[in-house]
Structures are given as C-alpha cells and as structure tokens.
Amino acid sequence: MLANIQEHSFIVARVAETIVSGLQLPEDGTVAPPDLDLVLAGALLHDIAKTKCLDGSCQHAEEGMLICTEHDYAEVGTIVREHVILSSFNVDDYRRGLFPAREIVYYADKRVRHNEIVPLSHRLDYIIDKYSRGSDHIKQRIRDNFDRCVELENYLFSFLPFDPADVAERVNPAPFRSS
C-alpha cells in the first residue's frame, strides 16, 4: 500500500472511531452499537487493493473484498466492498436495531480527501472531478451515491452530540501504532 493511501486509511479509521465512540444510542437496547474492532478493521483495510488497482486493471473495492475473504476476513471484506458505493441504506434498518459497520466506514471514507477531513460537498466535488471523465451519466451516479451519504449523515448525527462540521476537531490526531 502506498504511503499516502495508508495515511488516508488511518484518518478514515480515526473518523470512524470518533463516530462510533460518540454514538449516544437509546438505553433500552433497541439499537445496538456497531462493533468498534470491526469498524476499525474495515476502515484500515478499505483501500487495501487501491495500489494494486491504480493501473485500472481492477476495481479496488471488489479486489479488496477478495483479499480480505482469502484471508478469512469475509465480514471485513463486505465492508471493503461497500466503501465506494453503499448497496443500500434504509433508516428502517436502524429502527429494527441495526447499526452496520459498513455504513460507518462508507461515511468516514467520504469525509476524508487524501489526508484531510472535509465536508461531504468538498469530497463530492473532488470525486466528480477525478472519476466522472466528463460523463453526465457518471456524474449523476456519483451524485446519487452522495445523496445516500447525506441521508446517512443526517441519520448518524441524530445519535451524536456534535455536528458533521465538528468531526475534524474531535478526531484523535495520534497515529495508529502497531503492537
């Protein structure tokens, strides 16, 4: 993994950690918190195949899922596969007590451009510029994906004691250390 991609992944993990740690869920147990270890594993590995796929020979989310699955981390692989385009998001899932790790990682990744925590609108502009190849169809697909992310952001922050604009100042700046 290239150093810049590794740094991006560390910051995504810190954003995800900030969100999970800050969640204020109902005390009646109707909504279970996501597994922090699973969230961190997914965030740290979400771009595991990015370097390999930079030449355009593969889709990094799919390839990353395969790498994780080959190493018996299928649950992490699902998160990795979903970090670019979330297959579904439905507020009703949360009302049934689900708070999937994949959605936390997906959201955290959308908040980090390279090594900087940015608002969704800035990340949207960057992704359109970098990946749309001038195609109106691709631009619309990217916007649709970000509409889902905005809906997710609104829902997530209904359980957090801070606003999306406050994420950067709440993130632990310490690097992850291997033990």
- CATH number for the domain spanning 159: value is 1.10.3210
Least confident of 29-33, 43-47, 157-161, 174-178: 174-178
What is the mean predicted confidence (pLDDT) over 139-145?
92
Return the closest-CA partner of residue 80 out of 12, 14, 149.
Answer: 12
Per-residue pLDDT at 96: 56
Is 158 within a domain?
yes
Which pair of structure tokens corresponds to residue 53? Answer: 């796929």
Per-residue pLDDT at 32: 77
Is 176 within a domain?
no
Cβ-contact 43, 12 below 8 angstroms: yes
Is 110 within a domain?
yes
Per-residue pLDDT at 50: 96
Cβ-contact 78, 106 below 8 angstroms: no
pLDDT, tens digit, for every residue of 67-76?
999 999 999 9
- Look up the pTM and report it: 0.92
Number of domains into which the chain is organized: 1
What is the mean predicted confidence (pLDDT) over 116-123?
95
Which pair of structure tokens corresponds to residue 1? Answer: 């993994």
**How many Å separate Cα 34 from the centre of its chain?**
13
What domain range is 84 assigned to? 3-170
Task: Give the separation between CA 136 and CA 81, rounded to whole angstroms.
Answer: 25
| pLDDT bucket at 37, cuts 50 / 70 / 90 | very high
What is the mean predicted confidence (pLDDT) over 24-45?
89
Cβ-contact 106, 80 below 8 angstroms: no
Is 178 within a domain?
no
Is 142 within a domain?
yes
Is 179 within a domain?
no
Is 177 within a domain?
no
Is 111 within a domain?
yes
Return the closest-CA partner of residue 66 out of 85, 45, 84, 86.
Answer: 45
**Which contiguous run of DSSP H or E holds residue 118?**
none
Per-residue pLDDT at 178: 54
* Summary mean pLDDT of the chain: 90
pLDDT, tens digit, for every residue of 69-104?
999 999 999 999 999 988 776 666 655 556 689 999
The rounded radius of gyration (Å) of the Cα atoms in the chain is 16
Residue 15's CB is within 10 A of a number of other CB atoms, namely 24
